[in-house]
Amino acid sequence: MKPTYILGVSAFYHDSAACLLRDGVIVAAGQEERFTRKKGDSDFPRHAAQYCLKTAGIGPSDLAYVGFYDKPLLKFERILETYLGVAPRGFSQFRLAGPAWMKEKLFQDREIRSALNYEGEVLYAEHHESHAASAFFPSPFEEAAILTVDGVGEWATASFGVGRGNNLELRKELHWPDSLGLLYSAFTYFTGFKVNSGEYKVMGLAPYGEPKYVDIIYRELIDLREDGSFTLNQKYFNYLTGLTMTDGAFSALLGGPPRVPESKLTQREMDLARSVQVVCEEIIMRMAKTAHRETGLENLCLAGGVALNCVANGRLLREGPFKRLWIQPAAGDAGGALGVAQLIWHRHLGRPRTVQTGKDAMRGAYLGPEFSADEIAAYLDAQGASYERLERHCLHERVARLLADEKIVGWFDGRMEFGPRALGNRSILGDPRSPTMQKVLNLKVKYRESFRPFAPSVLHEDAQRWFDLDGTSPYMLLVAPVRAEHRRDMTAEERALFGIDKLNVPRSTIPAVTHIDYSARVQTVHADTNPRFHALISCFKAKTGCPVLVNTSFNVRSEPIVCTPEDAFRCFMGNEIELLVVGNCMLRKAEQNPALKVDYKDEFEPD
């Protein structure tokens, strides 16, 4: 029988993406930014969709359905009502979720059809249903509570519900303009970072600060209820009407204007970051407790941009109330493309869902393009690059030895990751034991702020010997403490340091991946989903006794993660990485023709 192909699409807001299912199985998924090299590209994902179709060897006429991740009419209604000054509508506590799945016929059909050269049916899901579907359907759970939290979709800004078998039902929603995502973004803007991409920096900055503003936030900015629902005091925010997130009243309340982007970070920004992080965690904890109480279930699935807050996720896992947690790796809007496609398969077509015990359906999130050894060699030859082509085991041996020698390695292998994290296929790797690695990587390789922490990739089998982590973290979405036996105590003098001065104090035997509060954003590496990356770390462990590598995404700041060998080579020739591995080809910077150097870091605007 002919297979059923469904293409899911998210677009026109931020982080456009496409995802293809064949008989319910994820064949390919990609974010448009990786193909167009425009960070957070929100245009219709033509390139990503083309890539998906090409991977399956099909054309647009082979698609049974195209799904779109939100409902443009509802979103339009919110924007219109906001503009006319009649929003917020209704009350602000958790509301019953609105009517579920429906078809929508409107102008967007035409746009989607013509962009894809497709003539079939287009179906629409609600934004938070798409998030919820992306959280539950690929999860390793037969049944689970679902929590979605983001900036805003059509009206909803957070929701919770239940997934069972092939069924999914949202029960309650929190509505615009009361939004945890937008509260966090307001502080992101106020601390001088870019909204929609700088939230990660605020989270990274938080441990340097004190929660000095928490009382003010609760007193003035937010009315938080026991069940996790809340009302934001719109007097202080400007995102309903203006171009900025906050206004003069916000500045007056917090004792001064926003930080000018790129200016020096002060203790104030660190304290603001810590404060909004504390509030964010409290809200997530309360929402989770409510979802737990109302569903009586033991598993929780998370998605929506706020689910990328891995510090909050780590707390949720450690402090309950759920026993198990699964977070969609593409938790932001890109993941909506996957969610809507799965809604069509399971809900619209009523197809069953089978769960493999203990395994999710994301295949490690390695769902993007890959390149054959011959394609890679042909590209490098055309560039006049100098390289060695090595057997796999020999390559791993060599790279592990160089890593142990504190060399920084650009590592490009297999299929590109779907979602914001590099998980060992488009990564820059280093030795976590090195006390200078964090600084060198930030300043000479990534060209970004020195405070930003790096994440460890650890062999799954060794994870619990190094981190206090209950379960796995294949998608680098959980923060866990480094175990006590690997920590290093601070001297009295070091303890007295404040803010960013704490940065240079090594906290553990793997200082490059240990944040100042002894936490680490862990990726557990599994032999079944990424055997080659697993083998490389195993080699490093055999040489050093350490089953951990520094893993940061292969890009410089403001640039999307590299997608092709060409992107990787350009990035390599434009920064201070000493070694590049593309497939089984190894390149040393010192051996490259200096004429190939790329003046690279100035091509991207600061973020």
Using CB under 5 A, list all residues that contact Fe ion: 150, 333
Closer of 42 and 386 to Fe ion (Cβ): 42
Q: Closest distance between Fe ion and the C-beta of residue 156, in Å? A: 9
Closer of 131 and 502 to Fe ion (Cβ): 131
Q: Closest distance between Fe ion and the C-beta of residue 10, in Å? A: 9
Q: Closest distance between Fe ion and the C-beta of residue 514, in Å? A: 32
Pair of tokens at residue 555:
């890009």
Please give, one letter per residue, the 3-state secondary structure of 121-159. Answer: EEEECCHHHHHHHHHHCCCCCCEEEEEEECCCCCCEEEE
Closer of 336 and 410 to Fe ion (Cβ): 336
Closer of 333 and 567 to Fe ion (Cβ): 333
Distance CA 551, CA 565 (A): 19
Q: Closest distance between Fe ion and the C-beta of residue 305, in Å? A: 6
Distance CA 416, CA 562 (A): 9
Distance CA 466, CA 482 (A): 6
Closer of 39 and 534 to Fe ion (Cβ): 39
Residues 6+ apart with CB under 8 A from 163: 132, 135, 136, 137, 139, 141, 143, 144, 145, 146, 169, 301
Pair of tokens at residue 538:
């195993």
Q: Closest distance between Fe ion and the C-beta of residue 186, in Å? A: 17
Helix or strand run (H / E) with residue 261: none
Distance CA 106, CA 362 (A): 32
Distance CA 199, CA 305 (A): 10
Q: Closest distance between Fe ion and the C-beta of residue 337, in Å? A: 11
Q: Closest distance between Fe ion and the C-beta of residue 333, in Å? A: 5
Report the half-sphere exposure of 556 (CA within 13 A, side-chain side).
25
Distance CA 344, CA 356 (A): 21
Q: Closest distance between Fe ion and the C-beta of residue 278, in Å? A: 23
Closer of 77 and 397 to Fe ion (Cβ): 77
Closer of 150 and 154 to Fe ion (Cβ): 150
Distance CA 42, CA 476 (A): 24
Q: Closest distance between Fe ion and the C-beta of residue 57, in Å? A: 31
283 alpha-carbon distance from chain centroid = 20
Name the residue number minimizing CB distance to Fe ion. Answer: 150
Distance CA 277, CA 309 (A): 9
Q: Closest distance between Fe ion and the C-beta of residue 312, in Å? A: 16
| Residue among 396, 398, 390, 442 at smallest CA distance from 550 | 442
Closer of 126 and 333 to Fe ion (Cβ): 333
Q: Closest distance between Fe ion and the C-beta of residue 342, in Å? A: 16
Q: Closest distance between Fe ion and the C-beta of residue 152, in Å? A: 7
For the chain, helix, strand, coil in percent to 5 are 40, 20, 40
Closer of 150 and 271 to Fe ion (Cβ): 150
Closer of 135 and 254 to Fe ion (Cβ): 135
Distance CA 70, CA 122 (A): 12
Q: Closest distance between Fe ion and the C-beta of residue 17, in Å? A: 12
Distance CA 286, CA 106 (A): 38
Helix or strand run (H / E) with residue 273: helix 267-295
Contact 339, 137 (CB under 8 A): yes
Residue type at 233?
Answer: N
Q: Closest distance between Fe ion and the C-beta of residue 296, in Å? A: 27
Identify the three-state secondary structure at position 317: helix
Contact 9, 67 (CB under 8 A): yes
Closer of 101 and 604 to Fe ion (Cβ): 101
Please report the DSSP string for 404-435 in residue order.
HTT--EEEE-SSPBSSSS--SSEEEEE-TT-T
Distance CA 513, CA 433 (A): 9
Closer of 139 and 196 to Fe ion (Cβ): 196
Closer of 33 and 269 to Fe ion (Cβ): 33
Pair of tokens at residue 261:
């982007």
Closer of 192 and 305 to Fe ion (Cβ): 305
Question: Is 144 exposed, middle or buried, given 0-12, 13-18 or 19+ CB atoms closer than 10 A?
Answer: buried
Length of the chain: 607
